Structure 1
Amino acid sequence: MEGGPAGCPQVFVVDSQAPVTLMPSVVKRDFRKKKQYLLYLLVGLALLGVIIEAGFIYHLYKPPVAAQIPSPEKMIGHMKSPESNEIHPVQDKKLDYNKPAAFVQGGLRKNVDENGVMQWQTEGLGSFLHQVGYEDGRLLIQTEGFYYIHSKVYFSDSCSTFRHQVMWKTTRYREDTKLMQALRYSCVEGEPSGEKSADVGNSFLGGVFRLYKSDSVYVKVNESSLVRAGVQDNFFGIFMI
């Protein structure tokens, strides 16, 4: 062996205790495995959460068992009743006969006073007074509340305006108040001369109003001569709702 500058042979010393340096490919492989394990763990946790949530939703929307299974009494009733498949009508609520109401009708002869206030029959086939008074064509309120008021008048039109009104008398106002009104004008031309002749018609008024104790309501017309007589043709009524 050729010597060094001093003619001595070169000596190489190997340290057996030094750590072995890993190759880069080995380090990358270990890091990849750790990433895969972590990914599998996250996916597993996500699936577990989905399963738990699905279980909660199922129990939340699951109907109770008692609602699905009828009781033995109901089952026996269905077996005994041959009309179990029929749809029964809904029972109406009981009528309250204690509420005030009144209905009066006209007579065979028309009866209107000098002020145009129509007079009525309180006794007859359809007329009645229930917790409502009557005086000089006026219905007297005894109980405060909301009332449906209606009136119909049968009249003749002789080429003039006919006015049909429902009036309200109360201590709250100095003068009587007009609640409802209907105006009618009709004139029919006769043939072939073209002369005008009278027409007949009906006027109906109806509405809901709040009335107080000691108030009164009545029907008024402007032309008493135009009112035609008739029990069923002229009427006036109220009832509490």
Structure 2
Amino acid sequence: PTMQQNLNHIYPQMFYMDGGTENTPRPCIYSIPTAYSLPPPIVRRKKKTRDCSPVFNTSVFILVLLALAGVGVGIFFILKLQWELNQLKEVVPTATLMPAVEKHIGLPSVSEQKKEPKKAAHLTGYAGKNVNTGSKTLMWEHVFGLAFTSGIEYKGGGLFINETGLYFIYSKVYFRAQDCKGGHLSLSHIVFKRTPRYSRDITLMETKKLNFCSNTGMWTRSTYLGGIFNLTRMDSVYVNVSDLSLVSSDETKTFFGLYKI
């Protein structure tokens, strides 16, 4: 008889053969296991490893080198420009760079100031030149002491204008004497100009003092005149006084001058 196979479990099949007699031995026949009868093999999956290829590494290295080279070139050019600027500052004088800045902010350039000196003059009294002149026009010291002329010519007691424009003219005269000659005499101080366009002198400023002497002792008086006038080229300005002998020669008390505005 054949044994029935259990379907729930897989076992090797065994068969018994009946030879027809009871005494004949019955060989036991085993079936060879097949692939289907064995459990499926366990397949182990290999872990994926990150493999950085040499080409990738080389590309990254080249990109890093290019970035560093770019930074280096930029620093080199910046340093070179700074060096050239420093060399330019040493070669080019400051005077050549200032006019552009001064023009931008509205200041007069240094070159213009050097080419055109300020029109001005300051004269001081000198009594020795006023004695026995037969005139009431004061003569002045124009070189020594506090006196000077710049762009203005002094000649014969007058200041000659060589450029038309507005000028501030001033004059101070210090009168003094040891005694009083008369209480009713007057002191006069006049600033006038002469011009080729007119035959007569033109008074610009004038002052007079009356009763300047009230006693028999020493006395002093001072007068001052100042104003702005439009003077033309070739005009000349002078100072007249009532008595030249009464004028002090002190350069800090008697003076005459002008300057162009």
TM-score (normalizing by structure 1): 0.55
- Cα distance in 2 for partners of 1:147, 1:162 equals 26
111, 114, 121: which one aligns with 1:102? 121
Partner of 2:213: 187
201, 206, 230: which one aligns with 2:226? 206
Aligned residues: 144
Partner of 2:148: 128
In structure 2, the CA distance between the partners of 1:239 and 1:130, relative to structure 1 (3 Å rule), is: same
Partner of 2:245, secondary structure, is: helix
**In terms of mean alpha carbon deviation, does 228-237 or 174-183 score higher?**
228-237
168, 172, 195: which one aligns with 1:170? 195
Partner of 2:157: 137
Q: Specify the code of the residue in structure 1 equivalent to 2:120.
A: A
Partner of 1:225, secondary structure, is: helix
Residue 187 of structure 1 deviates from its aligned partner by 2.4
Residue 203 of structure 1 deviates from its aligned partner by 0.7
Give yes or no for contact 2:173–2:224 (8 Å, CA) kept in 1.
Answer: yes
- Cα distance in 2 for partners of 1:109, 1:139 equals 19
- Cα distance in 2 for partners of 1:188, 1:129 equals 39
Query: Gaps (5+ residues) in structure 1?
Result: 1-92, 190-195
Which aligned runs of 4 or more in structure 1 are off by greater than 2 angstroms? 93-99, 107-113, 156-159, 196-199
Q: Specify the code of the residue in structure 2 equivalent to 1:174.
A: S
In structure 2, the CA distance between the partners of 1:169 and 1:206, relative to structure 1 (3 Å rule), is: same
Query: Gaps (5+ residues) in structure 2?
Result: 1-106
In structure 2, the CA distance between the partners of 1:110 and 1:184, relative to structure 1 (3 Å rule), is: farther
Partner of 2:251: 231
Give yes or no for contact 1:108–1:231 (8 Å, CA) kept in 2.
Answer: no
The structure showing larger relative contact order (alpha-carbon pairs under 8 Å, at least 6 residues apart) is 1
- Cα distance in 2 for partners of 1:219, 1:209 equals 15
- Cα distance in 2 for partners of 1:213, 1:108 equals 29
Alignment of 1:53-132 (within 5 A): 98-107=117-126, 109=128, 111=130, 113-132=133-152
Give yes or no for contact 2:125–2:248 (8 Å, CA) kept in 1.
Answer: no
Q: Specify the code of the residue in structure 2 equivalent to 1:136.
A: G
TM-score (normalizing by structure 2): 0.51
Output the aligned Cα RMSD. Answer: 2.3
- Cα distance in 1 for partners of 2:206, 2:125 equals 19
- Cα distance in 2 for partners of 1:177, 1:101 equals 21
* Superposed CA offset, 1:110-144 (max 9, x none): 62532111111111232111110011110000110
- Cα distance in 1 for partners of 2:247, 2:166 equals 29
